[in-house]
């Protein structure tokens, strides 16, 4: 059975949909070779058509070795500071060498163009640095 988001007509489903589309940072947790969780904040793009998440990373990031060893990942948004507004997604990360580079993904660029400029990156230099595409295939979602 394919992964499905909660019904957006429900309060929880509406919150999940809003955060997947509006948030700029999500925490990606991989597991290192010793079994230790390794959380890192990342930029992401939720793809409604495939119910997957696209993340770009740099080629020498430790998360690449972690995912090669164990593709199971967890993703979560920051909470509201008092233990609420929690959304956790678990799934599998896959490298996709056929994925378009970030500058050729209009929705990704619309979301992050200002952030790239604010960090004083030249777009092509940023794209060369964050050149590895990860596609996250969610399997479960929970939250409160």
Considering the domain boundaries, does residue 76 fall inside one? yes
Instruction: Determine the pLDDT at residue 92.
Output: 98
**Token output for 10:** 């429900």
Q: What distance in Å separates the CA atoms of residue 133 and residue 118, rounded to the nearest whole number?
A: 22
Considering the domain boundaries, does residue 110 fall inside one? no
Q: Where residue 79 sits, what CATH number does that domain have?
A: 2.30.110.10
Q: What distance in Å separates the CA atoms of residue 71 and residue 79, rounded to the nearest whole number?
A: 25
Considering the domain boundaries, does residue 87 fall inside one? yes
The whole model's pTM is what? Answer: 0.94
Considering the domain boundaries, does residue 22 fall inside one? yes
Considering the domain boundaries, does residue 25 fall inside one? yes
Considering the domain boundaries, does residue 68 fall inside one? yes
Q: What is the pLDDT of residues 17-57, one digit of tens each?
A: 999 999 999 999 999 999 999 999 999 999 999 999 999 99
């Amino acid at each position: 059975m394919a992964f499905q988001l909660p019904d957006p007509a429900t309060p929880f489903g509406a919150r999940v949909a809003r955060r997947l589309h509006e948030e700029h940072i999500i925490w990606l947790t991989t597991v290192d070779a010793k079994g230790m969780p390794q959380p890192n904040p990342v930029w992401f793009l939720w793809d409604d058509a495939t119910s997957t998440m696209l993340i770009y990373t740099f080629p020498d990031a430790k998360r690449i070795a972690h995912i090669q060893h164990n593709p199971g990942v967890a993703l979560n948004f920051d909470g509201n500071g008092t233990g609420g507004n929690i959304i956790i997604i678990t799934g599998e990360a896959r490298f996709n060498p056929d994925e378009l580079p970030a500058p050729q993904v209009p929705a990704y660029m619309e979301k992050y163009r200002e952030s790239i400029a604010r960090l004083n990156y030249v777009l092509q230099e940023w794209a060369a640095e964050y050149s590895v595409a990860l596609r996250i295939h969610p399997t479960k979602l929970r939250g409160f």
